[in-house]
Structure 1
Amino acid sequence: MATYLTRQILQWIPVLFISSVLIFAVVRALPGDPADVIAGPDATPEVVEQIRSDYGLDRPLPEQYFSWLKHVAQGDFGQSYIYHRPNGELIFSRLPFSLLIAVTALLVAVAVGIPAGLAAGMNEGRLPDWLMSMGSALSIATPDFWFGIVMVIIFSVSLGWLPPGGFVSAFDSPWRFFLSLVLPSLTLALHGSAVLARFTRNAVIETLGEDYIRTARAKGLRRGRIVRWHVLRNSLIPIVTMMGILLGRMLGGAVVIETVFAWPGVGRLLVQSIINRDYGVVQGILVILVLFFLLLNLVVDILYGFVDPRIRVAQEKAK
């Protein structure tokens, strides 16, 4: 397993290098000049030029890229132009908030999507299947930001049950912390639960057609035991894959949700940094997100071995 993990991690190097080039190129292609933002609207051209020189923004782009890459490889993401703090410290101070709503949203999606997909798959062509299909289609077609605004109007403005946004620490008030987490997590879980329900349904239907399911039925095993030990267990590979994809998507998709609900995560920080042309923060966030996706894929690969022992044997043989 150690050899397998080492090989997988070594494969990250070219991916991270190519990603860093694309990230740097896209960020630097954004319109505007950070020197203008730093200097302010009343600054003279001489002051703006001096700021560009101080921050190295007047150097050729290849030179800026390799200088940035060298520091990133050493764990130094640079200094924020706007916040005047180390970029790494700034990003990692916001990352737990984004992970909090992403993991909570994934748990909600699993709690809703897997039972719904299982019920639909076990009742193919019947009412539960039709209801799940219509509900998932509607959920996938609904934009996150629109659903979030509707949730705020209903539960915050009209009913007054939940706060419209912001964050309250669990140390200050556990109940208010929970309430502040409800709306952004439910909104973020909307698409995830629908996609997970569809994948679970398809996996269950495919598993029900296997010979060992017919054999289990012929032996007279109870329906609940067949579902628990044969159908659901053998449907886990595509479900685990989708759960990994959804967690990454939720962390990346938190950009919109955090903006709608004023949530203090990396998504909101990314939007603010793009507006302020804070290149270092934007590049640092995107690099960390790429690294998170790679790490997530590795975790999913490892989970495959626990779900299906045959895959673990194949991984061992891959030495």
Structure 2
Amino acid sequence: MKLQPTRVLRFLGVRLLSSAVVLFGVLVVVFALVHLVPGDPVRLALGTRYTEEAYQALRAASGLDRPLIEQFFSYIGGALTGDLGVSFRNGQPVTTTLLQRLPATVSLAVVGLVIALVISIPAGVWSALHEGKVSDVIVRLTSQFGVSIPDFWLGMLLISLFSVTLGLLPASGYAPLTEDPAKWARQVVLPGLTVGLVAGAIMTRYIRAAVIDVASAGYVRTALSKGLPPRIVTSRHIVRGALVPVLTIAGIQLATILGGVVVVEVVFAWPGLGRLVYEAVAARDYPLIQGAVLLVAVMFIVVNLIVDVLYAVADPRIRVS
């Protein structure tokens, strides 16, 4: 079934418009963040370094000495052009700091999602196709354990096993992929496993439920009654029919990881967005917190937009509508 260009453009136009509305709402909330915090954010940021001169200089540099409406339009205009202000902590542009940390988070998110998909798709499909049997019970119990386990505890367990006991992998640290791929690969294994195992346990349960739902559909029973081999029915009808909910949960997990797995990044000293937000909150660096929240929201919006487009590719019924 071919995609009609006018419907594609209309579909993308509606999604982009709704994303723009959500983004504007996020900008308003992020701007209000500083003004809703009890106390003076500049005074809190300075802490023991407070002097009247430093206080007035920082207020002027951050634009907090101007009227509120002027601050609002200045922030919106700056955000649309990539200017998110200056960090209270180090005096660097917030955009620069975020872009420096983004590659670490993206690489961890990709590795974690790949591990999660490799685990969850075969486990979820197998469990659904053997519903009620011993293998199904084992998969469900294992996934429930994975969902319930705290990620920081799992991370420390992996460090204890692979770093302390076996000495196979480093317990912490980060090397950029573009500078030293081999070192990056060794250092991403443990945090990637921590993120991937937890996400994989969550996705396994959703995939199992989706496959069970599709397997009971009328067109699957019709295909089986026509004599098609179960393997063909599973691959062409059941698995493909379950793609939409799988894409949904995969998109949610990817956006969640991109948003910064704070505890995992702190445990493994991984210099991503999650650890950056943790450090910014500790230092009361409100411009940096604002910028990080805005970037995470943008990534959520982009991932959701991509998933919406993939729906139409995976399901012809959505393609037509």
Distance 1:151 1:31 in 2: 40
How far 1:102 moved relative to its partner? 0.7
Of 61-70 and 91-100, deviating more is: 61-70
CA–CA distance in structure 2, aligned partners of residues 194 and 86 of structure 1: 39
SS at match of 1:121: helix
2-structure distance, mates of 1:97, 1:223: 43
Match of 1:111 among 118, 129, 154: 118
Higher mean Cα deviation, 162-171 or 120-129? Answer: 162-171
* CA drift at 1:116: 0.4
Residue pair 2:62, 2:85 contacting (<8 A) in 1 also: no
Q: Which whole-Å CA distance do the structure 2 matches of 1:155 and 1:72 have between them?
A: 43
CA contact (8 A) 2:94 2:287 kept: yes
Q: Mark the CA change 1:45 to 1:13 in structure 2 (over 3 Å): closer, same or farther.
A: same
2:184 pairs with 177, 181, 188, which one?
A: 177
Check 1:185–1:218 CA distance in 2 against 1; reply closer, same or farther (3 A cut). Answer: same
Which residue does 2:194 correspond to in 1? Answer: 187
1:82 equivalent to 2:89? Answer yes
2:148 maps to 1:141 = yes
Among 21, 27, 31, which residue is 1:24 paired with?
31
Identity across aligned pairs (percent)? Answer: 39
Measured in 2, the distance between the counterparts of 1:65 and 1:217 equals 61
User: 1:49-68 alignment to 2 at 5 Å?
Assistant: 49-59=56-66, 61-68=68-75
Please say if residues 32 and 277 of structure 1, whose CA atoms lie closer than 8 Å, have aligned partners that are also in contact. no
Deviations along 1:111-148, whole A, 9 cap, x unmatched? 00010010100000011110111111111111112211
> Residues 172, 50 of structure 1: CA spacing in aligned structure 2 closer, same or farther, 3 A cutoff?
closer
- Letter paired with 2:294: V
Q: Is the 8 A contact 1:304 1:311 kept in 2?
A: yes
**Displacement of 1:37 after TM fit?**
6.7
Aligned residue for 2:261? 254
Give, in whole Å, the separation in 2 of the partners of 1:211 and 1:148: 44
In structure 1, what is the equivalent of residue 297 of structure 2? Answer: 290
Paired position in structure 1 for 2:204? 197
Letter in 1 for 2:83: D
2:5 maps to: none
Q: Secondary structure at the match of 1:11?
A: helix
Q: Note the alpha carbon deviations across 1:89-123, whole angstroms, 9 max, x for none.
A: 22112112111111111111110001001010000
CA 1:221–1:177 in structure 2 vs 1: closer, same or farther (change >3 Å)? Answer: same
Tell me by how many angstroms 1:71 deviates: 1.2
CA distance 1:3–1:132, shift in 2 (3 Å) = same
- Looking at structure 2, the residues matched to 21 and 231 of structure 1 have their Cα atoms a distance apart, in angstroms, of 43
For 2:85, give the aligned amino acid: G
TM superposition shift of 1:38: 6.4
1:51 and 1:172 mapped to 2: Cα distance? 36
Q: Does 1:102 align with 2:109?
A: yes
Question: 1:129 maps to what in 2?
Answer: 136
Superposed counterparts of 1:300-311, under 5 Å = 300-311=307-318
What one-letter code is carried by the residue in structure 2 that aligns with 1:153? S
Measured in 1, the distance between the counterparts of 2:136 and 2:115 equals 20
Distance 1:214 1:43, change over 3 A: closer
**Matched residue pairs, number?**
314
Q: CA deviation at 1:181?
A: 0.5
Alignment RMSD? 2.1
Measured after TM superposition, the shift of residue 270 of structure 1 is 1.4
CA shift in 2, pair 1:30/1:179, >3 Å: farther
How high is the TM-score relative to the length of structure 2? 0.90
Matched, 1:8 2:19: no
Please say which of residues 275-284 and 299-308 is displaced more in the overlay.
275-284
**Aligned match of 1:278:** 285
Provide the residue aligned with 1:263 in structure 2: 270
